[in-house]
Amino acid sequence: MIEKGKKKQPNDFIKYSGMATQMAITILAGVFGGQKLDAHLEMEAPVFTIIGSLLGVGAALYFLIKDFIRK
């Protein structure tokens, strides 16, 4: 029986798979953005790809921690 005032909690699998998907999309956006910038500027070394991937990982961790604190 569900008590009044309590929300039904989503399944943990759905919640964590959503977080993993959000992390993957954030990291991939940083990598692909860096690749496009390297190609546009005709860089010999993949400098912006590396920077984009690191920024993507940092942003993904930020969003992950923010979600854990909020829930």
The per-residue pLDDT for 7 is 63
In a domain, 63, yes or no: yes
Tokens of 29: 């956006």
In a domain, 33, yes or no: yes
**Are 30 and 59 spatial neighbours (Cβ–Cβ below 8 Å)?**
yes
Domain containing residue 35:
25-70
In a domain, 1, yes or no: no
16-56 pLDDT, tens per residue?
A: 888 899 999 999 999 999 999 999 999 999 999 999 999 99
CB within 8 Å of 59: residues ≥ 6 apart: 26, 30
Residue with the bigger pLDDT between 41 and 12: it is: 41
In a domain, 66, yes or no: yes
The number of folded domains in the chain is 1
Tokens of 36: 């496009």
20: Cα separation from own chain's centroid: 7
In a domain, 52, yes or no: yes
In a domain, 48, yes or no: yes
The per-residue pLDDT for 16 is 83
In a domain, 14, yes or no: no
Lowest mean pLDDT among 6-10, 17-21, 26-30, 64-68: 6-10
